[in-house]
Amino acid sequence: MAKLSYRQVEAFRAVMIAGTTTGAAELLYISQPAVSRLLNDFEAAVKIKLFERHHKRLAPTPEALLLFEEVERSFIGIDRLANMAEELRDFQRGSLKVAAMPAIALGFLPRVMQQFSQRHQGVNLTLQVRSSQQVADWIATQHFDVGIGATNVADPALAVEVLGEAALVCAMPASHPLAEKTVIVPEDLRDQPFISLGPEQSVRYKVDEAFEQARVSRQLVFDTQLSHVACSFVDAGSGVALVDPITALHFSSANLVFRPFEPWVSFSYHLLYPAHRARSRATEEFSQLLKQELALLVKRSDGLLRLKAT
């Protein structure tokens, strides 16, 4: 890495304080072009993108904020700052805060985060599990770096990306006569004791519509917010349920079997990011790993996890 100079770091600090190169020039009593040149040299030396430009102001990236903390704390040990930039670039330092809905957080996500941690042991990881709406709220207010939820929230504070659109699957006791079938349809579940996802879940209305269109009645015995709890009810002998496939693949019980359900009832997984904040390199790499591991899970699911092409 190129050697940092005191003037480069001083220009970086001034821009972080002033928010513009013009304001930084006033703080340093030099010209605005001189500040821009020093800032460009600093960014080139550390080899990290430090700013996004928004309406003539410079918005610092997460890496810039971390560097600025170090600058302010020591102001400065140039060599120490250079070492920190190298650590950030090589993922030897940093943090990643993830918020996720239970459907993906109770089995699949911890394994992905463990893989990420093994690759980047210097990155501190946090996982909080909440409802999809709470996840969206936390991401919109920039309390977390990345979220995973079931609903595509229309919020200008959110950048939303489809991780996958899957089909619900049918959970039933292994001893159930329907376990002999390869695919379950609404008629198979006529008058069956049925555990339903609660009305606060948007997928509930998709399930009800599928049975209404088939003119099939069910015996509704329990409502629950979570697919995992619905599986537990089925495990206890309460009936059958339609649940999301990632929960199904990670629910451990010899008493349960899962079968594809037709027609296709969508359960979507969305990646959520703060719309007005640059994503850190750790966030980008984690998101890429998540997509790769989901693709592998599809291949290993023996047809249980089906995703629509996007």
Per-residue pLDDT band for 88 (boundaries 50, 70, 90) equals low
For residue 53, what is the domain's CATH number?
Answer: 1.10.10.10
Task: Determine the pLDDT at residue 297.
Answer: 95
3-state helix, strand, coil in the chain (%, to 5): 45, 25, 30
Nearest Cα residue to 272 out of 141, 178, 169? 141
Q: Does the residue 310 lie in any domain?
A: no
Amino acid at 142: Q
- The DSSP string of 80-105 is HHHHHHHHHHTTSSEEEEEEE-HHHH
d(CA 296, CA 279): 25
For residue 151, what is the domain's CATH number?
Answer: 3.40.190.10
For 64, 82, 85, 140, 238, the CA distances from 88, given in Å and listed in that order, are 10, 10, 5, 25, 51
d(CA 15, CA 51): 10
Most confident of 34-48, 141-155, 184-198: 184-198
- Within this chain, do residues 126 and 183 fall inside the same structural domain, yes or no? no
Does residue 233 surpass a pLDDT of 70?
yes
Per-residue pLDDT band for 70 (boundaries 50, 70, 90) equals confident
- Within this chain, do residues 139 and 273 fall inside the same structural domain, yes or no? yes
Which residue shows structure tokens 């990290």? 48
- The DSSP string of 191-226 is T-EEEEE-TTSHHHHHHHHHHHHTT---EEEEEES-
Q: Give the single-character DSSP code of 174.
A: T
What token pair was written down for 273?
Answer: 């990011």
- Within this chain, do residues 20 and 65 fall inside the same structural domain, yes or no? yes
Per-residue pLDDT averaged across 159-181, rounded?
Answer: 95
What percentage of residues in the chain have a pLDDT greater than 70?
Answer: 92
d(CA 232, CA 174): 13
d(CA 162, CA 276): 19
- Within this chain, do residues 246 and 107 fall inside the same structural domain, yes or no? no
For 140, 162, 191, the CA distances from 223, given in Å and listed in that order, are 29, 27, 16
Residue 84, classified by CB atoms within 10 Å of its CB into exposed (0-12), middle (13-18) or buried (19+), is buried
Contact 246, 103 (CB under 8 A): yes
- Within this chain, do residues 144 and 213 fall inside the same structural domain, yes or no? no
Does residue 259 surpass a pLDDT of 60?
yes
Q: Would you say the pTM of this structure is higher than 0.75?
A: no
Domain with 217 in it: 169-264
Domain count, the chain: 3
Task: Determine the pLDDT at residue 218.
Answer: 94
Task: Determine the pLDDT at residue 91.
Answer: 60
Q: Does the residue 107 lie in any domain?
A: yes
Question: Mapping DSSP to helix (H, G, I), strand (E, B) and coil, where does residue 140 land?
Answer: helix
Determine which helix (DSSP H) or strand (DSSP E) holds 190, and give its type and residue range.
none
Does residue 85 surpass a pLDDT of 60?
yes
Task: Determine the pLDDT at residue 296.
Answer: 95
- Within this chain, do residues 29 and 42 fall inside the same structural domain, yes or no? yes
- Within this chain, do residues 192 and 121 fall inside the same structural domain, yes or no? no
